[in-house]
Amino acid sequence: MIKAFIFDLDGTLVQTEALKARSYARAAVELKPTLREEQIIEAFKDVVGLSRREVSEAIVERFGLREMASAKMTEFNVHKPWQAFAQIRMGIYDSLISDPEILNGHLCPYNVGLLKWARQNGYPTGLGTQSHRPQTLRILEILNIKDEFDFIATREDVENPKPNPEIYLLLANELQISPSESLVIEDSATGVQAALSAGMGCIAVTTAFTRDGVHKMDNFDKRWIVDSPPELLEVAKRFIAENNGAGERTS
């Protein structure tokens, strides 16, 4: 029986993945002006859902940024080229997510609509994100949805990032439900795998950055992949009906 909803943030409630891709692209072009932003944005699709370190290392290596990033290490008081690149990129990203107009323009209305539906129907709700707490709270406050969650778990709260299930197991514990009573709303293969590894139900609402990766998963029931967000609420109701018995909390 589904008793609670757990939501991812980036790419699920707000298209911060697009903003992250843009920030990595602008940082790369800042270091190496011969690059085009579109190249980096396309490459970001291969690493979406991974940690900041993993994404930064991948882009630094793929686009030959090691020497240019190394030259910035003293300026940022860091020890590795990927850290310097990440610092440049974070400055750009912070500027993007601090602009209410930009952030509201990247809201995922149907996913947020499901969040509000869950609250209206009495489901406890949690947020599990690999973003860090300051950025997470800033985004939630600008979008005015911070109070829609009973518990918020961020990167600081766990030792292991997704696809490790730790963050989702933490949320189940804090919401006082078993993992099997949880329905996770995700967008990426990394997040879906974290939910499945936790023993939770999951619906994947894909984006241009995550669609291919989710569809390539061989351990995920394709019935629960939503490529068209307007269909999300009905898919969620169907998931609940199959797990709870038709007619329970699906109004």
CATH code of the domain in which 120 resides: 3.40.50.1000
Average pLDDT, integer, range 95-106: 94
122 shares a domain with 11: yes
What is the per-residue pLDDT for 17? 87
DSSP line for 141-207: HHHT-GGG-SEEE-GGG-SS-TTSTHHHHHHHHHTTS-GGGEEEEE-SHHHHHHHHHTT-EEEEE--
Domain limits at 65? 17-102
Instruction: With respect to residue 146, please indicate whether it lies within any of the assigned structural domains.
Output: yes
What is the per-residue pLDDT for 50? 82
pLDDT surpassing 50 at residue 101: yes
Residue 13 contacts residue 7 (beta carbons within 8 Å): yes
Residue 195 contacts residue 128 (beta carbons within 8 Å): no
Instruction: With respect to residue 249, please indicate whether it lies within any of the assigned structural domains.
Output: no
For residue 105, give every residue at least 6 positions away whose Cβ sits within 8 Å of its Cβ, in sequence order, or none: none
Percent of the chain with pLDDT over 70: 98
149 shares a domain with 206: yes
Cα(24)–Cα(10) distance, rounded to whole angstroms? 15
229 shares a domain with 109: yes
46 shares a domain with 8: no
27 shares a domain with 8: no
Cα(75)–Cα(73) distance, rounded to whole angstroms? 5
115 shares a domain with 10: yes
Number of Cβ within a 10 Å radius of residue 96: 17
Question: What's the pLDDT band for 249 if we cut at 50, 70, 90?
Answer: low
pLDDT surpassing 50 at residue 43: yes
Tens-digit pLDDT profile for residues 108-164: 999 999 999 999 999 999 999 999 999 999 999 999 999 999 999 999 999 999 999
Backbone angles phi, psi at 45, to 5 degrees: -60, -30
Residue 240 contacts residue 249 (beta carbons within 8 Å): yes
Extended beta strands in the chain, E state: 4-7, 125-128, 151-153, 182-186, 201-205, 225-226
pLDDT surpassing 80 at residue 9: yes
Q: What is the mean pLDDT of the chain?
A: 95
pLDDT surpassing 80 at residue 247: no
Number of Cβ within a 10 Å radius of residue 64: 13
Instruction: With respect to residue 251, please indicate whether it lies within any of the assigned structural domains.
Output: no
Last residue of a domain, one of 34, 67, 102: 102
Cα(165)–Cα(173) distance, rounded to whole angstroms? 12
Percent of the chain with pLDDT over 90: 92
Last residue of a domain, one of 75, 102, 129: 102
Contacts made by residues 175-180, CB under 8 angstroms, sequence distance 24+: 175/4, 175/6, 175/124, 175/126, 175/150, 175/151, 176/124, 177/3, 177/4, 177/124
145 shares a domain with 78: no
Last residue of a domain, one of 102, 131, 161: 102
Domains held by the chain: number: 2
3-state secondary structure of 126: strand
- pTM beyond 0.85, yes or no: yes
115 shares a domain with 89: no
